[in-house]
Amino acid sequence: MDLPEISDRLEAADVLTRYTRAIDTGEWDLLDTVFTPDAQIDYTASGGIAAGYAEVKPWLAEVLPAFFLRRMHMLGQVETRLEGDTATTTAYFHNPMVMSDGAGGEKVVELGGIYHHRLVRTAEGWRSRHLHEEIVWRRGL
């Protein structure tokens, strides 16, 4: 593995880290550094929408805070396959979230799955052109 490949792999992993930080902290504009403007995103496995980035970004900003009081991702087993200026990056995720229990308290719900990103090198760095969220397990929902 040469230095440019190591750099590309680290930058691809950073795209996933920025994605989860944006989701968890509600810094929705940080998603602009994750996705290309023409990106397609599919959250249907978790009950969400499949649409272009322009539609998904405001949907996330509205829906996630309305249902989940706090969110936190853990990523693991990140694999990147480079092909010139494109890459496929997958990562396991564990996503516990806190929501109202409907009786004045809180409960924790969890999702576990795999993020499948198709990345492209842009003038601003690596960006995701396609995200598919695969849910492997869920608890508390």
Domain spans, the chain: 3-139
- The mean pLDDT of 88-117, rounded to a whole number, is 97
**Cα-Cα-Cα-Cα dihedral sign, residues 27, 31, 37, 41:** negative
**What is the β-pairing status of strands 50-52 and 70-71?**
unpaired
Q: Is the dihedral of CA 4, 9, 89, 133 positive or negative?
A: negative
Query: What is the percent of the chain with per-residue pLDDT over 90, rounded to a whole number?
Result: 99
CA distance 102 to 93: 27
Q: What is the pLDDT of residues 118-133, one digit of tens each?
A: 999 999 999 999 999 9
Model confidence pLDDT, tens digit, residues 40-85: 999 999 999 999 999 999 999 999 999 999 999 999 999 999 999 9
- Cβ(80)–Cβ(8) under 8 Å? yes
Segment 84-88 long-range contacts (CB within 8 Å, at least 24 positions apart): 85/120, 85/121, 86/118, 86/119, 86/120, 86/121, 87/8, 87/12, 87/118, 87/119, 87/120, 87/121, 87/126, 88/116, 88/117, 88/118, 88/119
State residue 141's pLDDT score. Answer: 80
With the CA atoms of 106, 95, 28 and 63 taken in that order, what torsion angle do they form, in degrees rounded to the nearest 10? Answer: -50
Q: Classify domain 3-139 at the CATH class level.
A: alpha beta
